[in-house]
Structure 1
Amino acid sequence: MEDLKKSIKEISNEEIIRIVISNKMNKENEYNKINISLKEKNNKEYYQIEKFTDKQVFHENIDKNDLEVKLLEFMQDYKQLAAWSANNNFDLKISKKGKVFLGKKKSDNINLLNKSHNKEKNYILKEGMIIQPLIDLGVFTKEGKVVKSMYDKYKQINRFVEIIDDEIRKNDYKELTILDFGCGKSYLTFVLYYYFVEIKKINVKMIGLDLKKDVIKKCNDIAKRYGYENLSFELGDINGFKYNNKVDMVITLHACDTATDYALYNAIKWNSKMIFSVPCCQHEFNHQMKAESLSILTKYGIVQERIAALMTDATRANLLEAVGYKTQLLEFIDISHSPKNILIRASKGNLSKDKKEKSLQEVNTLIEQFNFDPTLYKLLKDDNLI
């Protein structure tokens, strides 16, 4: 015990940046490992402790002066500790017989120090920016500060903008034509316009489409009030909307059930460079689903509903690949905030013939196995696109 105290004291006497505690002595210990990192907030340094179970992470913050006591407490249950200071690496091990070994090696860890401090996340839509749509939405105050009760919404909006920004940064776009299907009265369309014009300095023409006449009028009035000259809203149905000019990007958020399929179909027909779609209310597969050999999937209603929704998005993603889009399914927001948290991101790419054929074959297998008749599949088939 004295050797352990001495070793931990030697480690704690240095400016420790990071610690990893592992190799638990007792399998019944719920924490598989413990990470400790030096953080900084409001010019005050502290240590953040992360305790990892099989499925969760538990956090705790402690004062810098409490590190030695905390390490001594933890090391009653673990056999190994690795620590990094600005100038040294430490490796502490405890043998089966309880013997303590401490290794110390000179190392320059200054970069680790810089990375470890808890710097503010570099959001694209930063606090301090006067973004009128976010102010009107109640996310920002008039001074550009995040309203505390709206911080989750602020993160969600930034997450969506980041997903788009990942694609935009791949090319030096000077101008873009963007169609936003089913825009509704959400302020996200206005936020995106701000992002493209004010942050990325791209010359955009953006059109929002919705079925409600009063919504369209209100949105056009707001765009005029904001001075968003190249943002307009039109009355129309996704299923039959016609647009004869080039379309670089199609956005569809929460278009209900097969409306998402018509939006994707139109985007494909226009040969859009980029597609961003958050589907909603996927009823089609749930109503069609039959699975004689896998009846366990249809035995319980809630299981069938969720699996059918996931299969719907997987089918859409594969069909996009089959017509030449590099496609990803991403978590848009945390599922605790909304179960409608999958975003389809697709960009026109050079996919091999084998890749396209495999993606289509996977869809055909799913259709055959579960008796599906996907709307997007029919639309593309009828147009000889697959």
Structure 2
Amino acid sequence: MDNYAAFFDKIRESIQQEEFIKISLGDYNGTELYLKNVYIKPVIIKRERKLSFVFRYKTQDITQNFEIDTGIVEIQGLLKVEGFRVATLFTETENLLCQFTKKGIWSLRRENPTAKKPVILAHDKQKVRKLDSTNKVYLRELKLADARGDVYKNAQDKWKQINHYIEILSAILQRLPQKDTLNVVDMGAGKGYLTFALYDYLVHTLQRRTSLVGVEYRKDLVDLCNQIAVKSNFKDLLFMRGAIEDYQPQSDLDILIALHACDTATDDAIAKGIKHGADLIVVAPCCHKQIRREMEKNKTKNELDFLLKHGIFMERQAEMVTDGIRALIMEYFGYQTKVFQFVSDAHTAKNVLVVGEKKFATEQKRQEILEKIKSTKTYFGIDYHYLEQLMGL
């Protein structure tokens, strides 16, 4: 077993035996501007043990919490992909230092323990929301809060959804490249709940000058949202009438959002984001009809056909395959993708939120992705994925 694998075996063992205290990552040699260190410690949130990551930048800290297994994968990515070359595991019995040497190999060094295990792991701080409801004209106009900023009882689920949405995106939004103005488009903005919140967070919390266009087909909602934007003094927030497939951005984009775009409208949105150079693409797909029709048409025999004969399982599998290939295509074009569970609202089931952050893909990686897409289509009997056609793959 090589030293790198042994290091992660020790991480898992120390967590399992409850000897794990913390991990620190240093000697950063990646491309993330102003990132210096990452510190990982165990926490208990809602009675569940998790890993809390603190990303230390030159002028700020960003915290993210992960499930244990997901957190370990995240550490592996930070070392082998993102560019950290030193990791130190602190346990009750030893310190274990894993370092990437000039010879291009990972070395291990054991030292006497220096860290003390905390008595309490509970994440007992009161949750601080990314947005508060005080003095928010748009919340009042959307009938979510009263004049004092108190959220109505029947709007609590929507308010939680809004904050959940901003919470998911907050760390990535803070990593966006610095430029004079962020160009953002929200396709399928609906009544604008999340559009207003995103603009508010970018402009007033992150202090980023932002030009945001909300695209919505229903004229009554476009008129309503524009009226609320004026009342809120959101000068660079504009709602336009149009369909996702017809809308053409006037310039390159920094952020593209498309929540609950039906079936291939999600692909239209992703394609526009890629073609217009968006640094961040965020989609919450629904109605995965195109791939399901392909799978039902061809009825390919494979190890899963005993499941796919049941309509509800076919539907779920089609959703995963559709969004999985979408993520692969985004990765082909240099996006680092993550998939989150997104609570839509009180009357809708939990959705998948696919987030793509623009990075880089080598030619070897791109070829591997093409092979993966090809083999996946063959396995499930898919002739084509609509996003493939849009991107000319």
Structure 1 and Structure 2 fold alike (TM over 0.5): yes
Deviation at 1:365, TM superposition (A): 1.1
Which among 374, 380, 383 is matched to residue 391 of structure 2?
380
For residues 212-255 of structure 1, the C-alpha deviation after alignment (integer angstroms, 9 at most, x for no partner) is 22222222122112111101111222112222312111000101
- 222 and 326 in structure 1: CA distance in 2 versus 1, 3 angstrom threshold: same
- Inter-partner Cα distance in structure 1 for 2:241 and 2:249: 13
Deviation, structure 1 residue 191: 1.2
Distance 1:169 1:318 in 2: 24
Q: Residue deviations 1:7-40, cap 9 Å, x none?
A: xxxxxxxxxxxxxxx9xxxxxxxxxxxxxx999x
Task: Kindly report the root-mean-square deviation, in angstroms, between the aligned alpha carbons of the 2 structures.
Answer: 3.1
Whole-Å Cα distance in 2 between the matches of residues 146 and 260 of structure 1? 32
- Please give the alpha-carbon distance, in whole angstroms, between the structure 2 residues aligned to 1:354 and 1:132: 51
Corresponding residue of 1:361: 371
Shift of 1:336: 9.0
Letter in 1 for 2:157: D
Correspondences of 1:167-316 after superposition (within 5 Å)? 167-171=172-176, 173-174=178-179, 175-289=181-295, 290-293=299-302, 294-316=304-326
How far the C-alpha of 1:116 sits from its partner, in A, is 3.5
**Aligned pair in 2 of structure 1 residues 340, 380: CA closer, same or farther (>3 Å)?**
farther
- C-alpha distance in structure 1 between counterparts of 2:144 and 2:346, whole Å: 20
How far the C-alpha of 1:138 sits from its partner, in A, is 4.2
**What is the one-letter code of the residue matched to 2:140?**
I
Distance 2:202 2:254 in 1: 13
In structure 1, distance between residues paired with 2:319 and 2:44: 42
**Equivalent of 2:145 in 132, 140, 153:** 140
For residue 292 of structure 1, what is the amino acid of its counterpart? K
Question: Is contact 2:341-2:350 (8 Å) kept?
Answer: no
- Which of 145, 152, 160 is equivalent to 2:157? 152
Q: How many angstroms apart in 2 are the aligned matches of 1:198 and 1:253?
A: 23
- Give unpaired runs (5+ residues) of structure 2: 1-17, 19-42, 50-91, 93-114
Could you tell me which residue of structure 2 aligns to residue 25 of structure 1?
Answer: none
Aligned partners of 2:216 and 2:242 also within 8 Å: yes
TM-aligned CA deviation for residue 304 of structure 1: 0.2
Please state whether the residue corresponding to 1:166 is helix, strand or coil.
Answer: helix
**Alpha-carbon offset, residue 265 of structure 1:** 0.6
Distance 1:254 1:126 in 2: 25
Amino acid at match of 1:243: P
Task: Give the Å deviation of 1:137.
Answer: 3.7
CA contact (8 A) 1:131 1:194 kept: no
User: Is contact 2:176-2:279 (8 Å) kept?
Assistant: no
SS of equivalent to 1:339: strand
Q: For 2:256 and 2:335, locate their aligned partners in 1 and report how far apart those are by CA, in whole Å.
A: 13
* Bigger CA radius of gyration: 1
Whether the aligned pair in 1 keeps the contact of 2:335 and 2:358 (CA below 8 Å) is: yes
Unpaired runs of at least 5, structure 1: 1-21, 23-36, 40-47, 53-88, 90-106
1:349/1:241 Cα in 2 relative to 1: closer, same or farther (>3 Å)? same
Q: Is the 8 A contact 1:279 1:340 kept in 2?
A: no
Q: Give the match's secondary structure for 2:349.
A: coil
Please tell me whether the aligned partners of residues 215 and 240 of structure 2 are also in contact (alpha carbons under 8 angstroms): yes
| Residue equivalent to 1:60 | none
Q: CA deviation at 1:361?
A: 1.6
Q: Alpha carbons of 1:337 and 1:352: their partners in 2 closer, same or farther (altered >3 Å)?
A: farther
List per-residue Cα deviations over 1:119-154 (Å, max 9, x = no partner): 211211135x32222334444343233444443332
TM-superposed deviation, 1:161? 0.7
CA distance 1:355–1:336, shift in 2 (3 Å): farther
- Equivalent residues of 2:258, 2:282 under 8 A apart: yes
Pairing of 1:333-372 with structure 2 (within 5 A): 333=343, 338-372=348-382
Distance 1:145 1:172, change over 3 A: farther
Which residue of the partner structure matches residue 328 of structure 2?
318
Structure 1 moving runs of 4+ over 6 Å: 334-337
**Aligned-pair CA distance for 1:197:** 1.0
Which 10-residue stretch deviates more, 115-124 or 251-260? 115-124
Paired residue total: 284
What is the CA–CA distance in structure 2 between the aligned matches of 1:165 and 1:379, rounded to whole Å? 30
Following the alignment from structure 2 to structure 1, what is the Cα–Cα distance between the partners of residues 236 and 44? 47
Distance in 2 separating the partners of 1:208 and 1:38: 39
CA distance in 2, matches of 1:366, 1:330: 22
Deviates more, 1:372-381 or 1:117-126: 117-126
Offset of 1:352 from its aligned partner?
A: 2.3
Matches of 2:119 and 2:311 in 1, distance apart? 50
Give the conservation status (yes or no) of the 8 Å contact 1:291–1:298. Answer: no
